[in-house]
Amino acid sequence: MRIAVFSTKSYDQEYFEKYNKEYNYSFSYYETALNPDTAKLSTDCDVVCVFVNDIVDENTIKILSKNGIKLIALRCAGYNNVDLDAAAKENIKVVRVPAYSPEAVAEHALALILTLNRKTHKAYNRVREGNFSLKNLIGFNLSNKTIGVIGTGKIGETFCKILNGFGCKIIAYDIAENENVTALGVEYMSLEKVFEQADVLSLHCPLNKHTKHLVNKASIETMKDGVMIINTSRGALIKTEDAIEGLKNKKIGYLGIDVYEQEENLFFEDLSEIIIEDDMILRLLSFPNVLITSHQAYFTKEAMDQITITTLENITAFDQNKALKNEVKQ
């Protein structure tokens, strides 16, 4: 099997080479993202392996089909960047990594909460400069605060378990209740009530037509004054311009995001020596109560192991004409 890996970073290649000894596949690694202009690089390959910001739209898929691609292997859980209808029309299968390390993402969400709240990033910089003042570093106890969790799949469930240990009151919304979450004492409510009651709101749901811009002007207005919003799921769950307005009028007291609506033009790259032209990310960075990380919530050794192994197993199942347990269908 010949596999074209797009959006490749050094660590991606390192892990594929580490585990490929058992599979002996032929990999072609490309730093560039997959899109209609770069799809030609898949010529003479059987599989393309893609990540969160690759553009796998109808135009891209048609080119992949002409090149003989029969499988799109996502090395991530989300698949909102893939046109599943177009893939089905071209008889191209799509597989993903539905679960790798829910602990990695859930723990990062907690890190964003604690860092924003206790301002440890600011304290670190101050002390390095010899400033030992506590002025403006005051935070709040998480104990007894109401944490609203949107999405209680594996990551949301793990997040609830962690926050339970802090003595928080946890409320949740999902289209289907998770009995493991209910067993923790978490109370399911309507989405509207979660928005209204949460001191901290953490998003752990997929991006689709129902969840896009879930956090918007209207929903922000129903939230508590000074609410903390955390997003480690998909950037477009939050309408960025409305979040900026919420920060300006102090309705949003804290914003921690590991994902961003327009991240495909920014994240995973070193842009320190160029002028960033994205006005919204620059505006977000100007707020002292905003913390942004660059889609690193998943990035642990354990997660990389599981992502790589599951991706290779998905490809092997396809190669051997076995049932694709991680296939994505429309």
Separation between Cα atoms, residue 248 and residue 229, nearest integer Å = 14
Clarify whether 263 is annotated catalytic: yes
Clarify whether 234 is annotated catalytic: yes
CA 84, 87, 91, 96: dihedral to nearest 10 degrees? -60
Q: Given 58, 234, 241, 269, which residue is catalytic?
A: 234
Q: Given 121, 263, 277, 302, which residue is catalytic?
A: 263
Separation between Cα atoms, residue 51 and residue 295, nearest integer Å = 12
Backbone dihedral angles phi then psi of residue 109, each to the nearest 5 degrees: -60, -45
Candidates 262, 203, 198, 196; CA nearest to 232 is: 203
Dihedral of CA 54/59/62/68: which sign? negative
Burial label for 250, CB within 10 Å (0-12, 13-18, 19+), is: exposed
Among all residues, which ones are annotated catalytic? 234, 263, 295
